[in-house]
Structure 1
Amino acid sequence: MTTDIHTLARRRFTLVAVLLPALVTVVALVAQVLLLSLVPGVVATHWGWAGTPDGFAPSWTVPLMTALLGLGLPALLFAAAIGGLRRGDHGASYRLLGAVAFGLAVLIAALGVATLGIQVGRTDPGVPLPVLLLPGTLLAAAAAGLVGWAVQPRLPWRPTPTATAAPVPVRAGERVVWMQGVTLARAGAVVLGIAFVIGCLAVLPVLFFGDPVAAIISGLVVVVLFVVVATTLRFHVRVDAEGLTVVSAAGWPRVHIPTEDVLSAEVVEVSPFGEFGGWGVRWSGGGRQGVVLRAGEGILVRRRDGGTLTVTVDDAAAAAGLLTTYAALTSGRRGD
């Protein structure tokens, strides 16, 4: 009995994004717990560019952060992608996510073990950072990422067929407006929520035990995470005589295509990860932009400059039809 390529891709992704990171993290945690009795109660956790320690924390926070980040980040990436893979979605973005998950786990595990290992037998946390430690851990993480990429099958994303929407009749002097709201898919909301919680938990030791500069940077990270979550949850989509406007319920970000810039508008099935590598306001190669909050129906607008905008939204046929009508009227007035 043979295994089809999509099932194989899903299984290999699970292996690389969850099982191997969990194994690496558990091994690192065992090593760190064994090292706790051999290091000072307070250890260096951050070093400046000169290699001198400038951030300190209780030694038990090192395995705590290893467990939190080493298990949490790969699980987050897995949760973001597994729904699409189960639906039969595919593309290089999924393969990259698996590789990144494994690489991150190795990086976090290696840094945690090294942080305690270089302070074994010390009576104070003033140990300088070995010159080759950081390059070595980065090299190990990169190697793990390459392995994670190699063991997953190549399954490139291919665009789904588009459908040209019928123009919506608009009489002279009549103003027609189409509006819809689109909310981030539940999986996306859960992933962003978990990312925000992990980010908050990860910076707590720095806020309480780190130096003021590190605490400020960590606080800014939390603020950025909050802004990302708040501005991605819901968007309003509007088509009128001025063109297509997509704006977050928070008021920003905002994307607008004037009617005179519209070459065509089509209905398409959207794959957020397969096409754009995730949810939200996204950019891809070839001038492709997307406001993609879920998989499924959407509108694809082709610009006159060759770029495109993809928006996931219900009733996409009506939106595309009305935009096509207004684009034709504008083009007629210009004599195109």
Structure 2
Amino acid sequence: MTLPAENVSPQLTRNRRLIIVIGVVIPLVIALAAAFIMALWIPELPSPVASHWGTTGPDGYSTVGSVIVLPLLMTLVFAALAAFASWKGGPNGGMLWGHKIMVAASMFLSITLSVTAAGSLAVQRGLENAENAPAIGGIAIAAFPIALVMALFAWLMLPAAEYITSTPVTAKPIAGAATQRVHFSTTTRVGPGVVIIVGAALAALAIALAVQAVSNPEQLLLPAVIGLFVIALAVSTLSWRVTIDQRGLKVRSAIGFPRITIAPDQIESVAVVDVNPMGEFGGYGWRWAPDGRSGIVLSKGDAIEVTRMNGKKFIVTMHDAQLGAETLATVAKK
């Protein structure tokens, strides 16, 4: 059986080339160049080298190999994620603003990590003991504007973002339910593609913690605590429980926190809207859009849009959004 060929427009083809060049090739070349230069310095460096500085000087040490490899590894992982996330493009073949942010962020991350790592080793060349390494605050501060300018350049080199608007359809209360108690409950979760991206990002975090554990175990506690918190938060927000009853709308994560509750007397109107996560919210999860909307955006397609009395709008993507919206409209009307 022959699979049908993908219908790729010239615009999408051009965008994909830009994604590869700007979001993958250039960041990796920068990271590889920095790694090559740092490798040349190995004979001049102490062992171990300083890898973390406190207010009084170096307070963490690791192997020179981990300092060289870690920026390259993180650049590779993020560049791959940026390319994967933006490869399909927008509904009309253009780039969405969320795609542009990820591609530009790949450039920013590569330069920030590479310059900081190379600078931290440059100041240790010729030292017998890494404890005598000078502070690198100036290097880290200098890396930020350089990376920011290059990220801005990457953004400008990409095509204008495709603008997406959604037209909400007002939900009507369920007929004949005015004197009855109504209840709606469902679970909304991210799709397999998002799970792959999150899994890859968490794997990169786990590798970074493993490198820290091998190279500098005495300084592992704080990164491990932060890493475990990030992992728990990410996993908990992949699935949410949505409940609608006489108390209004309640949306809570898999572990029960965070949660959002909107009482019936806070609801001005309820609608169903078609949502594009990358185009309107810049990604998936608990998101905020430039137009002021917020919500739990886990999939592309139908969502409940709740307009509060103060004019703020809250979005929840889900299957059976039409039934859920009608149920919530019924509750809000009572």
- TM-score exceeds 0.5: yes
Q: Deviations over 1:156-197 (max 9, x none)?
A: 533122222343124354222122211212122112111212
Per-residue CA distance 1:9-28 (angstroms, 9 max, x = gap):
44433332222111211222
Q: State the SS of the aligned residue for 1:93.
A: helix
Name the structure 2 match of 1:177.
183
Tell me the distance in 1 between the aligned counterparts of 2:193 and 2:20. Answer: 17
Task: Indicate conservation of the 8 Å contact 2:271/2:325, yes or no.
Answer: yes
Does structure 1 residue 31 correspond to structure 2 residue 37? yes
Q: What is the one-letter code of the residue matched to 1:177?
A: H
Q: Does 1:270 align with 2:275?
A: yes
Note the C-alpha offset of 1:87: 7.4
Q: CA deviation at 1:252?
A: 1.6
- 2:209 aligned with 1:203, yes or no? yes
Matched, 1:312 2:334: no
State the distance in 2 between where 1:13 and 1:85 align. Answer: 14
Q: Is 2:239 the partner of 1:234?
A: yes
Task: Write the distance in 2 (CA, Å) between the matches of 1:222 and 1:9.
Answer: 34
Gaps of 5+ in 1: 330-336
Q: Deviations over 1:208-264 (max 9, x none)?
A: 44374x422201221122212221121111222222221112212211111121111
- Cα drift, residue 306 of structure 1: 0.5
Specify the code of the residue in structure 2 equivalent to 1:141.
A
* Structure 1 residue 277, shift from structure 2 partner: 1.9
Structure 1 length-normalised TM: 0.88
Determine which of 174, 191, 195 is the counterpart of 1:189.
195
RMSD over equivalenced CA pairs, Å: 2.3
Which residue does the alignment assign to 1:139?
145
SS in 2 for 1:266: strand
State the match for 1:299 in structure 2.
Answer: 304
Structure 2 CA distance, aligned partners of 1:38 and 1:8? 45
Distance 2:20 2:114 in 1: 19
Does the aligned pair in 2 maintain the 1:287–1:306 contact within 8 Å?
no
In structure 2, give the amino acid aligned to 1:274: G
Q: In the TM superposition, what is the alpha-carbon distance from 1:138 to its structure 2 partner? A: 1.7
Unaligned runs of 5+ in 2: 1-8
Secondary structure of the equivalent of 1:132? helix
Paired residues for 1:50-61 under 5 Å: 50=56, 52-61=57-66
**Percent of pairs identical after alignment?**
27
Q: Match of 1:332? A: none
Give the TM-score normalised by the residue count of structure 2. Answer: 0.88
Structure 1 distance, partners of 2:95, 2:275, is 12
Q: For residue 4 of structure 1, report the CA deviation from its aligned partner.
A: 5.6
- Describe the shift of the 1:99–1:140 C-alpha distance in structure 2 as closer, same or farther (beyond 3 A): same
